[in-house]
Structure 1
Amino acid sequence: MADRDVPPADRAGPGGDTPADGGGQPLSTRRERTGWYFYDWANSAFSTTVVTVFLGPYLTVIAKAGAGCDSDDPCRGRTIDLLGFDIAPGSLFPYMVSLSVFLTVFVLPVVGAIADRSPYKKELLAVFAYLGSAATVAMVFLTGDRYLLGAGLFLLANIAFGASIVVYYSFLPQLAGPDERDGVSSVGWAIGYLGGGTLLALNVVAVLFKDSLGLDTGQVARYSIVSAGLWWAAFTTIPLLRLRNRPPAAGAAQGSPLIDGFRQLWHTLRSLKAYPLTLFFLIAYLVYNDGIQTVIALAAVYGTEELQLSDDVLVPTILMVQFLAFFGALGMGWLAKRIGAWKTVLISLVLWTVVLVIAYQLPAGQALPFIALGGGIGLVLGGSQALSRSLFSQLIPKGKEGEYFGLYEISDKGTSWLGPLLFGVAYGATESYRVAIISLLAFFVIGFVLLLAVPIRRAIVAAGNTPPRLL
């Protein structure tokens, strides 16, 4: 349906107003925005059920089997072979998270450059979403001591996940104007946590009733991972039906889109020197988001290995975090409307620092302190990510959304690499998950200082965009 044919009632955005382009036409319809929200609903199952909850502990058990020790054995002093390197079984998952991001450094900016020059952005979203979901479903074969299979499938799924997110994010400036973007981003992120939480709730039922279902803990974990791939694939159909392709703002590709994508990536990296404040914000984001993503990805490992908590405590707690993050994202979106997104993100980083200090001091074997900390994480989690996304969208020169979000996504949604690398090295050196978790404090402190130093309004103007009223 063309924009001029959309009835007025269908043009309302989250706040009742739909931003218009320069000719007075609405940027998007309510139906299209709803479709865009649903990709957050679809892909959050992977980041929640797979990355945050089940794959880390499950792959660690598989790796321990590969090292020749029992799943309950701390496996001290034993190693597994990974591409010629001997590593501790407990370091496999964080190293795989780190390696996947190292590889995405070369993939995601090129994907973004291609998306900016392709009139088939929806089709690009479909390719990466279905590739990632297929790799996730294939983890049904992750049994015994097949830790290399699990490592390879996770690498493929996580890279495809990141590539799909780059394409997905590049729709945001096409759907909402400067003053509405914080709200649209916050709603999308909130719906994502609700979607991820809904599937996790079903998996919690399976965990709690595994004996009645005739399943052991490993089988429940494996089938839960597979369910996330099926969920991801099924709900991706909604945005594919509702989003519409637009003529590329950056102009059509000259020749092969892939070759043009690599060529434009080089131009993008060179052009960053013309937008030093955008680069400064991106560096600040990469630092503090590394900390956030590492906490998300490795919370389950910390809870099981260091705090000695069972899945009966861990999984419902992370489920609670998902639903609290829904309200937290909306709440921080509300706060951003009153004091500005930049100030709200700074407040969230202070709260993240407090979270880590408390996590370091949590007593082992006690569920209530862990559950209380999970509540705090839920309230601060969604808003810091959603508002960072909308803030960065204000700093991108028009027509370069995909390629800049490619750089952005390198450290987003469970694909950070410095944090997991530091976590894995700290654990490998000390065999203490407490030392590993407190080492992440540096990311939030340094990230706060860097973000505080960004003159955000001047940065938006320098990128050629109109700043929102409050920052």
Structure 2
Amino acid sequence: MRLFRDPNYLDFLFATGFIPDRNMNAVRDSRDENVLRDDDTDKQRLRATESDMNTHTDDPEQAGSKSAFNSKKALWAFLVLCYSTGPTSSMVSNYVTAAILSAANLLGHQAGSNKPCSRRGTNISCLVKFGGGEIDFNSYTLYLRSISRATEGIVSIVTAGMADYASYRKTMMMASIFLFGALALPFAGLTGQTYSHLTALSVLYCFLTTIGGVYTVIEGSYIPIFMRSTGWFRDSRVAASQGERATWNKGVSISVLALVSSNLGGLTALIIGVILVYGRGSYVQVGYFNYLLAITIGGCITILFALLGQYLLPSIPGKELDRTKNKFPLLMAFKNWLKLLKSATKYSEAFKFCIGWVLWNTGYSNHMQLMGALFLQVTGFSRSSGVYSVWSFTGVIFACMGSLSFMYLYPRLHFPVKSYAYAFLLVNISCVLWGCIGVSNNVTIGYKHQAEFWVEQVLFMSTSSSLRAYNRAIYSSMIPENSEAQFFGLEITLDLATGWINPLVMGIIQDRTHNLRFPMIPNLLLMLVGLGLYSQVDISKGIEQAKVPLGH
């Protein structure tokens, strides 16, 4: 809360036009005089007002609704909703996978014998039942991730194809958030150390990941709406000049604040997890049941804050749905997705940026899962419950620090806008490369000591969170109006090509090698290719392309 009371921070938001203020016109006029010395064309952009937006939008009612997002109430409502998803999302990425791995390690056996699996080691060989056969227990979660990412992509096609119409956007987002929280409630009862309970944990994990894709698509689509409500989206010529900072500061602000709000929600649930672990006893006494109870509590927090966000967030009308031509909304969603793919050459820069984002995100998310499993393995399943809870907690803190630092430094450092992406990606690539070095048993480094995990966490989490904020802000500037959900859904639907294949390949590699560092190699390759695509994007050209509505 202190963040929003800081006068310097409020001045920054007022100056960028993100939060309206009685003195906003004076602030803008002052900034105009400074920018005018560098480039006279910036004047048109920086003096864009609400009346400009009404002129840009043919429907006055729609323009009025969008102007409602240029308010503190809309900002707080959106941040509350982002906060509400944080507890469950954090539990899914940390505690759900940890609980599944712990249960699989407990139920599995060593290869070639019926002896229980080792509880600690740099390379644990442990087999667990999966389908009609047996697989490495670390491959278990990788195969689950492959399944859930495939279903997430299919559901996201429907979401992205429908959310931009009428009032579907808010309705679909709220329904997905409520369902997201509700699916977390049964975990506290799944304490049986049996294969049936392991299967139930696995099914719930897949459902949670799938539903998470729905709200992720729609949440991201609100960023360009907030940016347009402040009147920035006018003249692409300024994007190539020094006025680009006035253009993108708003996007960076809302993107960072959304991520930080979600992370704060995650911290709330993780604090509860730490209290449970140290308050109810160690792993030996309670096992991974502390994780399960924390997941259920996180689901309750998600539902409670979603109710508040539902009340505060204004609705926004989208494109009108012609019922005479679209009698089957689900079929319409797939038609819209195909139409979007056909426009790849028309919005070439947005597509290139999105593909680079997808490749990085696939490598990032899979690396996160591998690091969680590797941390549990190196520190020991039998005594790592408390340490893992603290490690999960500090990871979110470093993510918040990274994105907030980026928001503070971006308007003050006059580096080319793409240089930020290069810097963040290079740090990410270095962290993944470090794990690949440890593939050989003869090498003593490569995430084989607990200290390495803490250093990696500081570097990887801070830069990854900053890059995610950067991606959403820059991508928003290359999206045509009234197609926000479709384009943000593109990031997840394109993931159908790599999101499920990569975990599947990683699972096969892990099943053969029993070494969690080997599956890091595909992630390294994905990030390197993603870096190459980022370098090919012409952002100014992408903003120019976004002036033409989709379908015209």
1:445 aligns with 2:487: no
The question of whether the paired residues in 2 share the 8 Å contact of 1:41 and 1:235 is answered with yes
Q: How does 1:63-462 map to 2 (within 5 A)?
A: 63-67=104-108, 70=116, 72=118, 76=125, 78-82=127-131, 84=132, 86-142=134-190, 143-144=192-193, 145=195, 146-177=197-228, 178=232, 179=247, 180-211=250-281, 216-249=286-319, 254-306=326-378, 308=380, 310-337=384-411, 338=413, 339=415, 341-360=417-436, 361=438, 362=445, 366-410=449-493, 416-462=499-545
Distance of 2:390 and 2:282 partners within structure 1:
18
Distance of 1:411 and 1:58 partners within structure 2:
30
Cα 1:422–1:332 change in 2 (3 A) is farther
The question of whether the paired residues in 2 share the 8 Å contact of 1:11 and 1:30 is answered with no
AA at the equivalent of 2:371: A
Considering only CA atoms, is the larger Rg found in Structure 1 or Structure 2? 2
Identity, in percent, stands at 18
Cα deviation, residue 223, structure 1:
0.8
SS at match of 1:116: coil
* Correspondence for 1:23 among 29, 34, 54: 54
SS at match of 2:518: helix
The RMSD of aligned alpha carbons is 3.0
Cα 1:308–1:364 change in 2 (3 A) is farther
AA at the equivalent of 2:155: V
Moved more, 223-232 or 338-347: 338-347
SS at match of 1:197: helix
The question of whether the paired residues in 2 share the 8 Å contact of 1:250 and 1:399 is answered with no
Structure 1: unaligned runs, 5 residues or longer: 1-9, 467-471
Cα deviation, residue 408, structure 1:
1.3
Query: What residue number does 1:59 align with?
Result: 100
Relative to the length of structure 1, the TM-score reads 0.87
Cα deviation, residue 430, structure 1:
0.8
SS at match of 2:130: strand
Moved more, 66-75 or 444-453: 66-75
SS at match of 2:387: helix
The question of whether the paired residues in 2 share the 8 Å contact of 1:162 and 1:409 is answered with yes
Cα 1:400–1:111 change in 2 (3 A) is same
The question of whether the paired residues in 2 share the 8 Å contact of 1:342 and 1:391 is answered with no
Moved more, 86-95 or 213-222: 213-222
Cα deviation, residue 288, structure 1:
1.0
Distance of 1:23 and 1:59 partners within structure 2:
52
Structure 2: unaligned runs, 5 residues or longer: 1-9, 19-48, 56-63, 110-114, 233-246, 439-444
AA at the equivalent of 2:202: A
AA at the equivalent of 1:243: L
Distance of 1:349 and 1:231 partners within structure 2:
33
The question of whether the paired residues in 1 share the 8 Å contact of 2:118 and 2:126 is answered with no
AA at the equivalent of 2:334: F
Query: What residue number does 1:7 align with?
Result: none
The question of whether the paired residues in 2 share the 8 Å contact of 1:58 and 1:218 is answered with yes
Cα deviation, residue 431, structure 1:
0.6
Query: What residue number does 2:59 align with?
Result: none
Q: What are the Cα deviations for residues 216-266 of structure 1, in whole angstroms up to 9, with x where unaligned?
A: 132101112222222222222232122111111465664343332233222
The question of whether the paired residues in 1 share the 8 Å contact of 2:162 and 2:168 is answered with no
Cα deviation, residue 14, structure 1:
5.9
Distance of 1:419 and 1:239 partners within structure 2:
36
Distance of 2:134 and 2:340 partners within structure 1:
38
Distance of 2:391 and 2:130 partners within structure 1:
33
The question of whether the paired residues in 2 share the 8 Å contact of 1:290 and 1:417 is answered with no
Distance of 2:388 and 2:356 partners within structure 1:
31
